[in-house]
Amino acid sequence: MITPRIHHKKQQGVALITVMLIVAMCVVIATQMTSRLQMQMQRSTNISFNQQAYWYAMGAEAFTKRVLITAFKEDEDVTHLGQIWAQGETTYPVDFGQITGEITDLQSCLNLNALRAPLGNNNNNSGSGSGSNNAGNDNSSGDGSQNSKGSNSNAGNANGRNNKVPARLALETLLINLHIEGISQFEAESMADALTDWLDEDDRISSAGGAEDDDYASREFPYLAANNYLASINELRIIEHFTPAVIEAIKPYVCILPASDMHKININTLNAEQPELLQALLDSTPDEAQQILSARGEEGFETIDDLYTLPEFTRIKNSDSKKDQFVVDSEYFTLKASANFNNSFFAFNSVMKITNNKYIDVISRTIGRN
């Protein structure tokens, strides 16, 4: 009679343990469900905040369009740093955050895509090629002959310069004028060669310092030359000869016009505190470049002839051959915008093109701080 009682107690113990295991499993499952629910709710909140930050930033783009249109209604033929768009970085408070934006003239810097344009290309200045040729001949010989085919080494060097578009000559000069450690004329020409090969349509090396598919395909992580326009300055990191130090040094002076080889620099919007670019464009001294920038006044030159007749400009050697590089109005601008909303952050760069001072097209938009 004792044995059944013991068996019954054992069954009760097993049942109790089973119930406790089931309860424990339910607690674990409930905890996981609650944690996942909280994560999903937080994720949805973050997405909502990020979306609001995005629309705040897009609002900055819409506001920029209105600012540019207003500026060019007042000054139809001139773009200068005294206009309302050129106020530097500006921050506006909004509900639960802020919007920051800065408008920059993309024709106040050297368009690296202009190295793709062949001499005589109308999109790259009609006549700029012939101007460059004259400049090269004047610098290499004093007899005035322009038909010589390299009877001596100096003539050979002149012919080398004659085959370079004005934007390339400016880049080489800029690299030297910035006094970057380890960069001489040879290194500057090699970088220009490599960039030209990266941009041109063929797979032939332009000169000794160039690089094409074979050079890049032989690397540890192989790739091919783009043979097309640059999309970003950061693309220079994968082009032969360009080092991080060089890229950082030239960043304030160069830019990218998407899918355009246009080489037209707005003299009115060049940074007066960085005369090195104008010095490179004119192949002048730093003092000559600074004098020209100082002479333009607060509202710049009203016409391009005001620049050409400036005594400081006419005194520069071969100034006539360099005229086609300059304009006094601009059609490309970039907006660097960022927005904060409830600790969510969104940033992008937007490139805009103005047509007839009436229409603005966003031709590229890059997400991120750079």
pLDDT in tens, 101-142: 999 999 999 999 999 977 544 444 433 333 333 333 344 333
CA distances from 56 to 36, 45, 65, 286, 301 (A): 30, 17, 15, 42, 36
Q: Coil, strand or helix: which one is 120?
A: coil
326-327 vs 90-94, strand pairing mode: unpaired
Q: Which amino acid, 60?
A: A
Choice among 125-139, 170-184, 259-273 with the minimum mean pLDDT: 125-139
**Mind giving me the DSSP string for 157-217?**
HHHHHHTS-HHHHHHHHHHHHTT-TT--HHHHHHHHHHHHHHHSSSSS--STT---HHHHH
Q: Over the chain, what is the mean pLDDT?
A: 84
pLDDT of residue 64: 94
Which CATH number applies to 110-141+150-327: 1.10.3720.10, 1.10.10.10, 3.30.360.10, 1.10.40.60?
1.10.40.60
Average pLDDT over residues 152-159: 43
Choice among 161-170, 222-231, 238-247, 324-333 with the minimum mean pLDDT: 161-170
pLDDT of residue 45: 84
246 pLDDT more than 90: yes
CB 247 within 8 A of CB 240: no
Q: pLDDT confidence of 369, banded at 50, 70, 90?
A: confident
Domain boundaries, the chain: 46-106+332-367, 110-141+150-327
Q: Domain 46-106+332-367 belongs to what topology?
A: Pantoate--beta-alanine Ligase; Chain: A,domain 2 (3.30.1300)
232 pLDDT more than 80: yes
Q: pLDDT confidence of 333, banded at 50, 70, 90?
A: very high
Q: pLDDT per residue over 55-106, tens digit each?
A: 999 999 999 999 999 998 888 889 999 999 999 999 999 989 999 999 999 9
Take residue 330 and report the two structure tokens written for it.
Answer: 């601009």
The CA distance from 270 to 338, in Å, is 25
Take residue 129 and report the two structure tokens written for it.
Answer: 């090629």
pLDDT of residue 129: 38
CA distances from 218 to 131, 183, 211, 265, 321 (A): 39, 25, 11, 38, 41
Q: pLDDT per residue over 7-44, tens digit each?
A: 555 666 777 888 888 888 898 888 888 888 888 888 88
The CA distance from 349 to 335, in Å, is 6
293 pLDDT more than 90: yes
pLDDT of residue 154: 42
CB 324 within 8 A of CB 310: no
Give the residue among 82, 79, 85 at the shortest CA–CA distance from 102: 85
Q: pLDDT confidence of 156, banded at 50, 70, 90?
A: very low
The CA distance from 210 to 242, in Å, is 12
Enumerate the H helices of 86-142 as residue ranges: 128-140
Average pLDDT over residues 291-320: 90
The CA distance from 28 to 62, in Å, is 51
Average pLDDT over residues 227-256: 94
b vs e for 260-283, b when ≥16 Cβ sit within 10 Å of the residue's Cβ? bbbbbbbbbbbbeeebbbbbbbbb
Average pLDDT over residues 191-220: 91
pLDDT of residue 176: 95
The CA distance from 350 to 369, in Å, is 11
pTM for the full model? Answer: 0.78
